[in-house]
Amino acid sequence: MQKRWNILTADESKVEALFSSLKINRTLCRILVQRGLDNFELSKKFFRPQITDLHSPWLMKDMDKAVARILQAFKQKEKILVFGDYDVDGTTAVACLYQFLKLIYQSVEFYIPHRYREGYGVSKAGIDYAKENEITLIISLDCGIKSVELIAYAKELGIDFIVCDHHLPDQMLPPAIAILNAKQVDCKYPYKELCGCGVGFKLAQAIAEKLNLPEESYLKYIDLVAIAIAADIVPMTGENRVLAFYGLKKINDNPSPGIQAIIKLAGVNKQMFITNVVFMIAPRVNAAGRMDDAKKAVQLFIEQDPEKAMQFAEMLHSDNSDRREMDSQITEEALELILKDVKNDNKKTTVVYQEHWHKGVVGIVASRLIEKYYRPTIVLTKSGEIVGGSARSVAGFNLYEAIHACKEWLLGYGGHFAAAGMTLLPEHVQTFADAFEKVVSETIPDELLVPEIIIDAPLQFSEITTAFYQILLQMEPIGPENMRPVFITKKVRDTGYSKIVKDAHIRFVLKQNNASITGIGFNMSDKFPILQTNQPFDIVYTIDENEYNGNTTLQLKVIDIKLSEN
């Protein structure tokens, strides 16, 4: 697939000033300036995050009300229910706050709604469960900000709510005792991008401070916050970076039995980075809710017995294996449907539907299809008498607005800029697909249908040294707004030793002037003819390490190549 290359620029005077104060590679200074770290102090905070950089939880609107209500529950011996969503952010948030509260108070339970029986967020079934079990306080995590009617229903039953959420609030807020959400317009909390688990963590921090508990009483759960930050794709900036940094440190130095078990099953036997969390831990946790019941993800995180933790980890591992098999099978079927569509080549959207597909993986399949056909994509399946599905967008296109424009054919819909879900009647599938194609065709700029590679800076092969790479490693943890730096080197040549491996990948051996380096390009065999021209070409890549026969060397992880312009 052809890609657009976008090379970022930086204010040269700021680059020079930072280079003078930091005394590190000028290219790295350029990247720091691009990311807003354009002076010594900001760069120092970035490279050396401190726990003391965390903000006071009391700066968050309603934190005093939330803590007061929880302490009142302690005093009056009320039953408390910690309620969270079924994804990674929700289950880690529940595990974090539930364990913290259990240390100081016994009448605490947790509840995770079933994805298919109850749906997303606060559920009527969950509230009814609370009423039946004489629970009078529910703390919702990673959900609740939009649950106006359900929280009003709970209030009628004599159940109070404390909402801990990070999703954008609507104008009408739920009638909760306290709402902890930094995105509220009148909330003065300095950092707005916490995940749901992060908000729950701040509540634990505030309770600990109020009760004069040691910092360790809540910091011991910082590994859960790091997993949530990684999985929920929130910005890796400010407070999130501090939490992820120390959370990763705990995962590597002293993981809980549950996290240790899942790392072992994932086959990771070296230092964990955010990338490992995203690709190894998060899918296994998410699979619990996609394939079965996410409650066991919380049970994994709170289990202190290593043997029992391994049993829960094996359940999640098995769910993930089932999910992968199903995801692969459905993707294959979806690609066949697209190939049979005679109008496919001219379309600007993909909408595919089969009644038998598992609804737990349709969002993943939509993402897979975008890798092949880069355009807004919807994958639909049937559940009972209703069709439901997930949509994924391409970078820069507002998917939610496009779906909103087709709402007359839908029973319900929700989501955001890049991802959404919807339900509709079976007889409206084709009409909706046609309407969606029409709306997107009329509104999407052509360039958004070509994937873009954001390139941080030009680099010479001679600059790629161990010292350079060690500083790159200090940019961890990586994530949105602090992505792994992508470099471009122009006018490189093949040494003649590059080759195709396993029929799909290229093992590169390249040179630029007197410097040579190896690299790997996954699924890039179609680009091999460029190397065979013996012409200079430009290459886009990240840098990582290659371990082979006990030796570790730096290598390029190649993203794209094209012939150099004269």
Q: Is 171 helix (H, G, I), strand (E, B) or coil?
A: coil
Alpha carbon of 465 to those of 21, 251, 476, 538: distances in Å?
21, 28, 18, 20
- Selected from 3.10.310.30, 3.90.1150.10, 3.20.20.80, 1.10.10.10, the CATH number assigned to the domain covering 341-449 reads 3.10.310.30
Q: What is the pLDDT of residue 383?
A: 87
Summarize pLDDT for 33-74 with one digit per residue, the tens.
Answer: 999 999 999 999 999 999 999 999 999 999 999 999 999 999
Summarize pLDDT for 69-80 with one digit per residue, the tens.
Answer: 999 999 999 999
- Selected from 3.40.50.10610, 3.90.1640.30, 3.40.50.300, 3.90.226.10, the CATH number assigned to the domain covering 57-221 reads 3.90.1640.30
Predicted TM-score of the model (pTM): 0.92
Q: What is the pLDDT of residue 435?
A: 97
Q: What percent of the chain has pLDDT over 70?
A: 100
Could you check whether the bond before residue 477 is cis, i.e. omega within 30 degrees of 0? yes
pLDDT at 1 over 80: no
Mean pLDDT of the chain: 94
96 confidence band (pLDDT: 50, 70, 90): very high
The Cβ of residue 182 has, within 10 Å, a number of other Cβ atoms equal to: 22
Q: What is the pLDDT of residue 138?
A: 98
552 confidence band (pLDDT: 50, 70, 90): confident
Across the range 464-471, mean pLDDT stands at 95
Q: What percent of the chain has pLDDT over 90?
A: 86
What burial class does residue 30 get, using C-beta atoms within 10 Å of its C-beta: 0-12 exposed, 13-18 middle, 19+ buried? buried
Scored b (16 or more CB within 10 A) or e, 237-256 reads bbbbbbbbbbbbebbeeebb
DSSP code per residue over 476-541: PSPBTTBPPP-EEEEEEEE-S--EEETTTEEEEEEEETTEEEEEEETT-GGGHHHHHTT--EEEEE
Summarize pLDDT for 290-343 with one digit per residue, the tens.
Answer: 888 899 999 999 999 999 999 999 999 999 999 999 999 999 999 999 999 888
Report d(CA 556, CA 487) in Å as an integer: 10
pLDDT at 168 over 80: yes
182 confidence band (pLDDT: 50, 70, 90): very high
For the chain, which residues make up each domain, given as ranges? 4-48+453-563, 57-221, 341-449
pLDDT at 566 over 80: no
- Identify the bridge partners of residue 420 per DSSP, sorted by sequence position: 391, 415
- Selected from 1.10.760.10, 2.40.50.460, 3.30.110.40, 2.60.260.20, the CATH number assigned to the domain covering 4-48+453-563 reads 2.40.50.460
Q: What is the pLDDT of residue 344?
A: 84
Q: What is the pLDDT of residue 88?
A: 93
Tokens representing 380 are 């639909």
Task: Say if residues 388 and 355 touch (Cβ distance below 8 Å).
Answer: no
Tell me, yes or no, if the two domains 57-221 and 341-449 fold the same way. no
Q: What is the pLDDT of residue 173?
A: 95
360 confidence band (pLDDT: 50, 70, 90): confident
**CB hemisphere CA count around 178 (13 angstroms):** 23
